[in-house]
Amino acid sequence: MLERRHKYLDPEMISKLKSLDFVSRLVTTGTVSGVHKSLRKGYNIEFSEYKSYVPGMDIRHIDWKVYGKRDRFYIKQFDEDTSVKAYLVLDKSNSMGYKSGSLTKLEYAAYLATSIAYLLIAQQDAVGLVACDDKILKHIPPRSSPAHLEEILTYLDGVVPSSTTDLSKTLNDLAMAVKSRSLFIIMSDLFDNQENVIKALKRLLCRKHEVIIFHVIDRNEIDFNFKDALLFEDMETREKMQTHPALLRRSYRKAIDQFIGFYRNKLYETNIDYILSVTSDPYEVTLGNYLEKRL
């Protein structure tokens, strides 16, 4: 399907994920047949309902067996599967560049984005990419061709962290810009104003979009397992702070738990899928578990 090898596209992982479909809960109005339910009734194998015939309707859909029993014309209707437009929203702010293991959060998110993009395009869905920090840096509109996948993956190969996070602004911009119902798959550490992020997400939901959030976070950002006195430097603001981690560990863990809990609860209330993606866990496992649960 692809012309050249890409940094974040692991064939072994792809083989594992091939058996899974990325099914959107979104009922789309797409015109291309796909795996997702469409608002349109079509010619699928899955029966939907009977409807009384009204002149003007296509008589090919009259169920003659029912006519024989009831002596009235009924139109047999089927649900039609269609394709979906998905936006991969990748937070590439500086905070995503943090790593305590082998992968930075951005790299981890890139792996996720690559995998999801591959899966969606493989099932005829259109996939786009929005890379942002405090503004939208790259916008690749959703398409479903393999060549388009090539374009996305090529961009992801070269993505590097930059600037500060303003995810809520990006999401608000997208809510304004994207008119048709779409699937927004957000990969971010969500280190932004929490209330603003929730508001932006709700705005997306109001526009009938589906939102999935992969909350990418480093293991050390949860555990805060630093030793000795350290001079911490904020990767986004460059602010420095000297302290002894041992003394702040308990309070930090409490704060990060509250932070994660906040998103988990709020997003649950708003019916947004929230996947805590810890970089120490294999991303295919994280993704696989989610997709299995989603089926």
Under the rule (CB under 8 A), what is the footprint of other proteins? 95-98, 105, 189, 191, 218, 221, 226, 228-237, 239-252, 255-256, 259
For other proteins, give the closer residue by CB, 39 or 229.
229
At closest approach, how far in Å is the CB of 167 from other proteins? 13
At closest approach, how far in Å is the CB of 240 from other proteins? 8
For other proteins, give the closer residue by CB, 53 or 226.
226
Q: Regarding beta strands 136-143 and 126-132, do their DSSP bridges make them parallel or antiparallel, or are they unpaired?
A: antiparallel
Q: Is 273 exposed, middle or buried (0-12, 13-18, 19+ CB in 10 A)?
A: middle
Beta bridge partners of 21: none
For other proteins, give the closer residue by CB, 255 or 285.
255
Please count the residues of the chain: 295
User: Cβ contacts of residue 167 below 8 Å, gap of 6+?
Assistant: 91, 132, 186, 188, 190, 192, 197, 200
At closest approach, how far in Å is the CB of 125 from other proteins? 32
Q: How far apart are CA 165 and CA 191, in angstroms?
A: 7
At closest approach, how far in Å is the CB of 284 from other proteins? 24
Q: How far apart are CA 155 and CA 118, in angstroms?
A: 14
Q: For tokens 């930059």, name the residue.
A: 162
Q: How far apart are CA 103 and CA 100, in angstroms?
A: 8
At closest approach, how far in Å is the CB of 257 from other proteins? 10
For other proteins, give the closer residue by CB, 42 or 97.
97
At closest approach, how far in Å is the CB of 256 from other proteins? 5
For other proteins, give the closer residue by CB, 122 or 256.
256
Q: Which two tokens stand for residue 51?
A: 């409807």
Q: How far apart are CA 223 and CA 75, in angstroms?
A: 61
For other proteins, give the closer residue by CB, 19 or 242.
242
Q: How far apart are CA 36 and CA 201, in angstroms?
A: 22
